[in-house]
Amino acid sequence: MTNKESNILLIKKLQDKDVRFIVDKFRIFYCEGGYKFGPHKHEHIEINYVKRGSCRMRFADVEEIFNETDCMVLLPGVEHYFYIPENKNCILVQLEFQINEYNFLNQYSNLKDNFLFFHEILTHSNDYFKISGDTKISLVIERIIDELKNEQDGFEELTKLYFSELFILLSRNIKSKKNVSRIKHSNRFIHNAIEIINNRFADKITIEEIAKKCNVSSRYLRKVFHKEMGLNLSEYIKSLRLQKAKELMDNLNLNLTNISQQSGFSNQQYFCKVFKDSVGVSPKEYRLNLFRLSK
């Protein structure tokens, strides 16, 4: 069975009447500075989306700061402590749910490749995930909340479809981060290339220039980079530029031409094409959604 066929079967199984998404809690709530909760843990999956403001969460000896449009995904059984600093406030979209049984997932051998979110749940590889700047994930969480809150005709079936979409988007995001994190285990040429790119991705630097600074041929660097990272050099550079563009979107003093230039794209037309191909919406639509969610 091919990966594509296996993916289709898994999506169909998620819509099966025997597979139920049990929602323990869903709400949008305002937290004032000084609010604290925990430490505690639970057996469901918890997803929090920061609609406005910022908050902090502590896991054992690690503390994470979550800012506006960030999303936190907590896997079952992880102890955590949530609080808002005294001088801050926060509006959170919170969703806590369970799947009635996970046994059916064991028949899918490609979870690690295509449904990494489920693989992480089954293997307990991580306690939580921090997701920043992913509007697609933010919007699908909002849609799930809206369906559960209003309970219009067919809301259960539609919610299942939205959950399937959420699992795919989370898997993509987690996989992307794992690919990048592999630089810790790669050879010195990749370390050097990553350092150069991270410092100069907004400039008009070429792969040939990067290879020269690493004292290797561009052909060799392309080959080794793809082998170690799971994506090619141009894709990695493009991902950094897109992330920078997303960070600049909430600055109303910058127009799309300014954003494309500061992100390293050659011109606004090319930037808009790459952005829509990658994100699924145009930069203008992304910006409108960003400000709609922040209201």
Residue 87's pLDDT is: 84
Report, in angstroms and rounded to the nearest whole number, the Rg of the chain calculated over CA atoms.
21
Residue 35's pLDDT is: 92
Distance, in Å, from the CA atom of 294 to the CA atom of 30, rounded to the nearest integer, reads 13
Task: Evaluate whether the domain defined by 3-178 bears CATH number 1.10.340.30.
Answer: no
Q: How many helices and strands in the chain, by DSSP H and E?
A: 12, 8
Q: Which of 292, 295, 290 is nearest to 134 (CA)?
A: 290
> What is the DSSP code (8-state) at residue 184?
G
Domain layout of the chain by residue ranges = 3-178, 186-230, 242-295
Residue 269's pLDDT is: 92
Q: Which of 180, 188, 144 is nearest to 26 (CA)?
A: 144
Q: Looking at the whole model, is its pTM more than 0.75?
A: no
35 Cβ neighbours under 8 A, 6+ residues apart: 83, 84, 90
Distance, in Å, from the CA atom of 208 to the CA atom of 166, rounded to the nearest integer, reads 38
Alpha helices in 36-154 (DSSP H): 111-114, 116-123, 135-150
Joined together, the tokens standing for residue 204 give 């008009």
> What is the DSSP code (8-state) at residue 155?
H
Q: How far is CA 43 from CA 83, 163, 198, in A?
A: 21, 18, 39
Distance, in Å, from the CA atom of 53 to the CA atom of 30, rounded to the nearest integer, reads 10
pLDDT 10s digits, 113-149: 667 777 777 776 678 888 876 777 878 888 888 888 8
Q: Is it true that the peptide bond before 85 is cis, omega within 30 degrees of 0? A: no
Please state, as a whole number, how many other Cβ atoms lie within 10 Å of the Cβ of residue 202. 15
Joined together, the tokens standing for residue 196 give 């150069």
User: Which CATH number applies to 242-295?
Assistant: 1.10.10.60
pLDDT 10s digits, 247-273: 788 777 789 998 998 888 888 999 999
* pLDDT less than 50: residues of the chain: 185
Please state, as a whole number, how many other Cβ atoms lie within 10 Å of the Cβ of residue 10. 21
